[in-house]
Amino acid sequence: VEGKEKYLLIRPLCDEIEPADSSFSVKSDRVLIKLCKKSAGAQWGSVDDSDLREKERKEEKAKASQGKSTAQLLSELYGEADDDAKKKLEEAWEKGRQKREGRSAEN
């Protein structure tokens, strides 16, 4: 929009950049932003740090799950699942229960 200032704020970035080597240019239909990574050859999963935060969240969840029983883990999984996944979990639970009962009846 002519004459109006617009801002693009991505904070924090995935990693550090070299501001002096970075640039931008305004085209008629887009703004081109080139960020020069401070660590040459570094691979970024995304521009912001969302990939890193997701990885840390998964690690924390895995650490919190250590020592929990299978029933506790399945209960958490069921609580976070959508309706279709809940139905599949219920079916798997029922099949497992039937197998356990079948084995105990044979012994």
Q: What percent of the chain has pLDDT over 90?
A: 21
**How far is residue 104 CA from its own chain's centroid?**
41
Write down the mean pLDDT value for the chain: 85
pLDDT at 103 over 70: no
- What are the boundaries of each domain within the chain? 8-66, 69-107
Distance CA 53, CA 33 (A): 24
Q: What is the pTM of this model?
A: 0.44
DSSP result, 55-73 = HHHHHHHHHHHTT--HHHH
pLDDT band (50, 70, 90) for residue 92: confident
pLDDT at 73 over 90: no
